[in-house]
Amino acid sequence: MKTFFGLIGAGGHGREVMPMLRKMIEGKNAGLDCELLFVVENLEQETEINGYRAISLKAFFDLEGTKRFNIAIGNSSVRQRIAEVCLAQEIEPFALIANSVILLDNNEIGDACMISEQTIITSNVRIGRFFQANCQCNISHDCVIGDYVTFAPGVKCNGNVTIGDHAYIGAGALIKQGQYGKPLMIGAGAVVGMGAVVTKDVAPNTIVVGNPARPMVK
């Protein structure tokens, strides 16, 4: 039976991630009868994007065969909503870990992660479901990262940092290490701006920017 790998989202991130998915499938599932396709939630008409078929979410659900999905959408609330719709259809997510990703010892990574090229996750890291890390991120020992967390390109997260669900860490942010038994905490739903240097805990649902990072005042 044919397997369809539906990559939900064909925006910038989706189009960056599709070639990583293709290389991963070629490496691990050579010979599998499969099709990789973009899935765009409310697409009115089937089309082609970068040489791949693009279909609506409904058309994806209607395909005959085995279906697997992951979601290349940075907004974690949208990601969660769409994940719940797919899981309710009993479609299993797949993990996307680019071939150049380095994972060292004893990491636990939840379902449906999407980890892009040249990211390094060292040892004893725990990460929840539907985590996204863009290219060239570093995540060091003993970090604990929640569900639906998003790392933009080039985030450097040192050891012993705990990050709550739905937090967003902007491009090139640097996060100082915590201590054993006293991790640096970034609260659920917090946003760390691009280029921020985080030296202290960040409260939940707070936006911080700058060096050292401070709550953003508009």
Ligand X SMILES: CC(C)(COP(=O)(O)OP(=O)(O)OC[C@H]1O[C@@H](n2cnc3c(N)ncnc32)[C@H](O)[C@@H]1OP(=O)(O)O)[C@@H](O)C(=O)NCCC(=O)NCCS
Query: Which listed residue (18, 20, 125, 207) binds ligand X by CB under 6 A?
Result: 207
Span from 22-30, 114-122, 179-187, 189-197 in contact with ligand X (CB under 6 A): 189-197
Nearest CA to 116 among 34, 4, 13? 13
Contact call for residue 191 and ligand X (CB under 6 A): yes
| 218 exposure class (CB count in 10 Å sphere: 0-12, 13-18, 19+) | exposed
**Is 37 a residue that touches ligand X (CB under 6 A)?**
no
Nearer to ligand X, 8 or 152 (CB): 152
Q: Which two tokens stand for residue 122?
A: 């060292």
Tell me if 206 contacts ligand X by CB under 6 A. no
Q: Is the peptide bond before 212 cis (omega within 30 degrees of 0)?
A: yes
Helices (DSSP H) in 31-139: which residue ranges? 57-62, 76-88
Give the interface segment with ligand X, choosing from 60-68, 109-117, 135-143, 187-195 (CB under 6 A). Answer: 187-195
Q: Does 170 engage in binding with ligand X (CB under 6 A)?
A: yes
CA distance 109 to 84: 19
Q: Are 143 and 160 in contact (CB under 8 A)?
A: yes
| 141 annotated active-site | yes
Residues within the interface to ligand X (CB under 6 A):
134, 152-153, 170-171, 191, 193-195, 207, 209-210, 216, 218
Active site residue ranges:
141
